[in-house]
Amino acid sequence: MSGVPGILFTKTLRDLRRRLAQFAAIAVTVLVGVLLFVSSYEAYRNLATSYDRTYDRLHFADLTATGGAPEQTAAAARGTDGVTTVTTRTQQDLPLRIGADKLLGRVTGMPVGSQPAVNRVDVIRGRGLSASAPDGVLVEKHAADTFGLAPGDRLRAFDGTRWHTLIVRGVAVSPEYLWPARNRQEVLADPHSFAVVFAPERTARTLAGSDAAPQTLVRLSEEARDSGGAGAVAARLRAAGAFDVVERADQASNATLREDLKGFEQLALGFPVLFLAAAAIAAYVLITRMVLAERKVIATFLAAGAPRGAVVRHYLGHGLVAGTAGAVLGVVLGLFATSAVSHAYTDALGIPDTVVERRPLVMVVGLVFGLVVGVAGGLAPALSASRTAPAEAMRGDGGTLKPPGPWSRAVARARGLPVVGRLALRELTRSRRRTLATMTGTVLALVLVLASTGMITSMRSLMNTHFGEVQRQDATVTASPRAPDLTAKLRDLPRVAAVERVTTVPVTASAGEHSYATSLSGYRPDTRMHGFRTDGGGTRELPAAGVLAGKALAEKLEVRVGDTLRIHTPAGPPRSVRLAGLVDEPIGTALYGTRDTVEALTGAPAQIYQLVVDDGTGTAGRDEVRSAVSRIDGVVAYADSQALRHQVDTYLSLFWIFVGVMLVFGGVLALTVISVTMTVNVAERASELATLRAAGVSLRRIAGMLATENLTATVLAVPLGLLVGAAAAFESLRAFNSDMFSLELDLGWPTLLAAALAMPAASLLSQIPAVRMVRNLDVAKVVRERSQ
């Protein structure tokens, strides 16, 4: 071959123009895949970089240790290699009163007049803390947004004996609360049930009282961070008396955002692969068809001494041109979309820094994806073309008729079926590649649809399980330690169906080298407020002695049933308790026992009341209950458990838009593959279809025949697609499972049914271009072409 691509490249371009619709469909599918990849992968990386930029700028702590004497823990940290900065502070969860809301908030101490050396904040509205204003505080941004707080507003904090008035000086963004989570057990919480207030250290100490456990914040050098130096520092902090040490990776906000990133990464890689696979299949079908149509020409060239490599390169070129064209456009559009998607994400999450970078490697990978599609789709037919026997050039069009296979013979015996139906069914095995391509397109589309829908339906199922079977209370009321038993008062309120007194204590459980900060809750042995799910989906009772632990917690501590746990509380010495059993919890992972067990372990009184409202109580009724409860003396916080459910439901409803988009993409994907195979089908059989048309067979009959064939292939693929789609959905959910979430796949029959019906619908739609092709068949022209 001369190496000059002139004539053959001209042929390639004309071939593309001749089959413009099909090649355009392939290029568009590549475009969507590459666009999705570039924009979402760049955005994913940008989001990670944005977090890191914010963390660096605000000196986010690498370790947060609670407990011990602050001087000792700080000194222990300072003496460790890789530690650059150490500070101490006071932090305590306290009842807050904001407007009419009573909630369990958090007060965190900060230096006045300057930023802390670790865990700085961005004051985005108002002013910073001042020594001259001891009651002036900064409110964390999410709380300010939820409660509509602005500089000058007032709120109150309960110190265990009385309410203190605090004045909002400013609104702040904190690296600790980019995702507003109290702890890893409550990463999804009613925003009205949590607020963070940054107060002058002295004020925080006053409010927290003597029970407050001081915190030591440690920042590491980059080298120490990268080389896993946090473990050694954590060990020193524990040895110095800290009972809980949380590394940055486990910090609630950061861990939640990283989980989100994990999902994002999966989306950035998984979905584009589906589109690119579909494009490769469509390219394969189309180029195979071209090779079949040009077999005699190829044979002629080969007979004349053309090297096989030149033939391979030529047909491979078709796939490469289509793939590259789609990829180039995808990369260009992806670069624009990257900025928009990155900003959309950081804005939605309230990340103060948005880093938009465009990485040449990602662009190159995007282009390579296009090339891979071209090679994957074009290589097999190109090799097949090069293996054409030159002697084929001498044969006429008649060729050799293959004997019918078992399927054709079986269909032939089905005399009850109309001939058109039998013909359509026989076509399924006439071109197995085409049938397989249609089926693969269907399977890929179902994978796309089910993997995206499964995320939402499973999340909804998780919420149903959590709020229906596990956390059965409608509201949680926190009472002042000095308040008398409020059970009777609460039970007497209208719409309140049941009340139970509960003990809930923040604790750190440890076993061997492992520790985990969580909550320990004590219930009545016959509690109605909490369900204890076993692994198999059943329920169990609270043990008379010992505690139950969430499965994820047991995994974290590497303990089994029967082992002994150490329970650390802010007040009092650590105690040991036997692990009596495990429970399966969808959100968070905690410890449970009877009230007697918990009170014996922690010495904490039962300050919490959980209540259930009458069935059918609506939002207005629930608000009335909230108001009535908040008016009771001694009540310091009220959290509506169901509000979170509504919040998440609203949040998930937005995700249905995402599912809708994925459904459209899935449809486009199925349409691309099926319509390409369909038009190839018509092109391959042009002479026989033209003959049928010439013989007076109506377009409707021919369309019916094509539709029967296509629908049969699609319907045959649906069960497999549902299975593979469910497996893909299961795998993608597994990536999200952690101690914070335990997602189980729940697609539900409506989803499966809708997905199963969508595929034949897409298949029917793809008939349109095929039927148009049949309508436009020029019998004379077809005959002329066949004679060449």
Partner 1 sequence: MTQTGAPRGGLRLRGVTKTYGTGEAALTALRDVDLDVEPGEMVVVLGPSGSGKTTLLNVIGGIETADRGEIRVAGEELTGRPPRELVGFRRDRIGFVFQFFNLVPTLTARENVEALVELTGRGDRRRVPELLEAVGLGDRMHHFPAQLSGGQQQRVSIARALATDPDLLLADEPTGALDQATGRQVLQLLQETNRRGRGVLMVTHNASVAAIAHRVVTMRDGGIHSMEHNAAPADAVSVGW
Residue window 225-244: x/- pattern of binding to partner 1, with contact defined by CB under 8 A: --------------------
Within residues 270-299, the interface with partner 1 by CB under 8 A covers: 294, 296-297, 299
Within residues 450-489, the interface with partner 1 by CB under 8 A covers: none
Residue with tokens 């990536």: 735
Stretch that binds partner 1, among 8-16, 74-82, 132-140, 628-636 (CB under 8 A): 8-16
User: Cβ of residue 22: shortest distance to partner 1, in angstroms?
Assistant: 15
Indicate the residue type of 68: G
Q: Tell me whether residue 395 or residue 482 sits nearer to partner 1 (CB atom).
A: 395
> 88: phi > 0 → left, psi -120 to 50 → alpha, else beta; which?
beta
Nearest Cα to Cα of residue 684 among 773, 767, 763: 773
CA angle 11, 16, 20 (to 5 degrees): 150
User: Cβ of residue 352: shortest distance to partner 1, in angstroms?
Assistant: 58
Q: Which of 131, 391, 497, 544 binds partner 1 (CB under 8 A)?
A: 391
DSSP state letters, 513-570: TEEEEEEEEEE-TT-SSB-EE-TTS-EEPPPSSSEEEEHHHHHHHT--TT-EEEEE-S
Q: Tell me whether residue 734 or residue 781 sits nearer to partner 1 (CB atom).
A: 781
Q: Tell me whether residue 150 or residue 389 sits nearer to partner 1 (CB atom).
A: 389
- Do the Cβ atoms of 359 and 334 come closer than 8 Å? no
Within residues 12-41, the interface with partner 1 by CB under 8 A covers: 14-15, 18
Q: Among positive and negative, which fits the CA dihedral 283, 286, 292, 296?
A: negative
Per-residue tokens: 646: 């509504």
User: Cβ of residue 33: shortest distance to partner 1, in angstroms?
Assistant: 28
Stretch that binds partner 1, among 108-116, 387-395, 533-541, 605-613 (CB under 8 A): 387-395
Q: Tell me whether residue 292 or residue 764 sits nearer to partner 1 (CB atom).
A: 292
User: Cβ of residue 285: shortest distance to partner 1, in angstroms?
Assistant: 19
Please give, one letter per residue, the 3-state secondary structure of 131-198.
CCCCCEEEEEHHHHHHHCCCCCCEEEEECCCCEEEEEEEEEEECHHHCCCCCCCCCCCCCHHHCCEEE
- Range 688-691 contact pairs with CB under 8 angstroms and sequence separation of 24 or more: 689/774, 689/777, 690/777, 690/778, 690/779, 690/782, 690/783, 691/779
- Do the Cβ atoms of 506 and 570 come closer than 8 Å? yes
Q: Tell me whether residue 680 or residue 733 sits nearer to partner 1 (CB atom).
A: 680
Q: Tell me whether residue 299 or residue 328 sits nearer to partner 1 (CB atom).
A: 299
Q: Which of 396, 399, 406, 536 binds partner 1 (CB under 8 A)?
A: 396
Q: Among positive and negative, which fits the CA dihedral 426, 429, 430, 432?
A: positive
Within residues 90-109, the interface with partner 1 by CB under 8 A covers: none
User: Cβ of residue 446: shortest distance to partner 1, in angstroms?
Assistant: 37
Stretch that binds partner 1, among 123-131, 216-224, 374-382, 389-397 (CB under 8 A): 389-397
Stretch that binds partner 1, among 155-163, 276-284, 385-393, 532-540 (CB under 8 A): 385-393
Q: Tell me whether residue 273 or residue 783 sits nearer to partner 1 (CB atom).
A: 783
Residue with tokens 């004051």: 123
d(CA 278, CA 509): 50
Burial of 66 (0-12, 13-18, 19+ CB in 10 A): buried
User: Cβ of residue 683: shortest distance to partner 1, in angstroms?
Assistant: 13
Q: Tell me whether residue 213 or residue 302 sits nearer to partner 1 (CB atom).
A: 302
User: Cβ of residue 686: shortest distance to partner 1, in angstroms?
Assistant: 13
Q: Is 57 in the site for partner 1 (CB under 8 A)?
A: no
DSSP state letters, 220-240: E-HHHHHTTTHHHHHHHHHHT
User: Cβ of residue 292: shortest distance to partner 1, in angstroms?
Assistant: 14
Q: Is 687 in the site for partner 1 (CB under 8 A)?
A: no
Q: Tell me whether residue 308 or residue 551 sits nearer to partner 1 (CB atom).
A: 308
Per-residue tokens: 350: 């309230």
Q: Which of 52, 222, 492, 785 binds partner 1 (CB under 8 A)?
A: 785
Q: Is 788 in the site for partner 1 (CB under 8 A)?
A: yes
Q: Is 491 in the site for partner 1 (CB under 8 A)?
A: no
User: Cβ of residue 304: shortest distance to partner 1, in angstroms?
Assistant: 6
Q: Tell me whether residue 17 or residue 700 sits nearer to partner 1 (CB atom).
A: 17
Nearest Cα to Cα of residue 230 among 218, 214, 239: 218
User: Cβ of residue 381: shortest distance to partner 1, in angstroms?
Assistant: 16
Q: Tell me whether residue 388 or residue 480 sits nearer to partner 1 (CB atom).
A: 388
Q: How many CB atoms lie within 10 A of CB 389?
A: 13
Q: Which of 131, 394, 694, 780 binds partner 1 (CB under 8 A)?
A: 394
d(CA 515, CA 527): 28
Nearest Cα to Cα of residue 519 among 480, 540, 555, 548: 548
Q: Tell me whether residue 16 or residue 587 sits nearer to partner 1 (CB atom).
A: 16
User: Cβ of residue 2: shortest distance to partner 1, in angstroms?
Assistant: 5
d(CA 433, CA 285): 7
CA angle 99, 103, 109 (to 5 degrees): 95
Q: Tell me whether residue 18 or residue 127 sits nearer to partner 1 (CB atom).
A: 18
Residue with tokens 């407050």: 212
Exposure letters 598-617 (e unless 16+ CB within 10 A, then b): bbebbebebbbbbbbbeeeb
Within residues 641-680, the interface with partner 1 by CB under 8 A covers: none
Q: How many residues bind partner 1 (CB under 8 A)?
A: 39
Exposure letters 182-212 (e unless 16+ CB within 10 A, then b): bbbbbbbbbbbbbbbbbbbbebbbbbbeeeb
Q: Tell me whether residue 16 or residue 608 sits nearer to partner 1 (CB atom).
A: 16
Q: Is 393 in the site for partner 1 (CB under 8 A)?
A: yes
Per-residue tokens: 162: 């009385």
Residue window 130-149: x/- pattern of binding to partner 1, with contact defined by CB under 8 A: --------------------
Q: Tell me whether residue 409 or residue 784 sits nearer to partner 1 (CB atom).
A: 784
Q: Tell me whether residue 633 or residue 778 sits nearer to partner 1 (CB atom).
A: 778
Q: Tell me whether residue 7 or residue 654 sits nearer to partner 1 (CB atom).
A: 7
- Do the Cβ atoms of 585 and 738 come closer than 8 Å? no
d(CA 164, CA 465): 39
Within residues 296-335, the interface with partner 1 by CB under 8 A covers: 296-297, 299-308, 310-311
User: Cβ of residue 331: shortest distance to partner 1, in angstroms?
Assistant: 29
Q: Tell me whether residue 12 or residue 431 sits nearer to partner 1 (CB atom).
A: 12
Q: How many CA atoms lie within 13 A of 592 on its CB side?
A: 28
User: Cβ of residue 294: shortest distance to partner 1, in angstroms?
Assistant: 7
Q: Is 387 in the site for partner 1 (CB under 8 A)?
A: no
Stretch that binds partner 1, among 529-537, 607-615, 759-767, 777-785 (CB under 8 A): 777-785
d(CA 535, CA 46): 39
β-pairing, 635-640 with 475-479?
antiparallel
Q: Which of 7, 348, 654, 657 binds partner 1 (CB under 8 A)?
A: 7
* Residues lying near partner 1 in the complex (CB under 8 A): 1-2, 4, 6-8, 10-11, 14-15, 18, 294, 296-297, 299-308, 310-311, 389-391, 393-397, 781, 784-785, 787-788
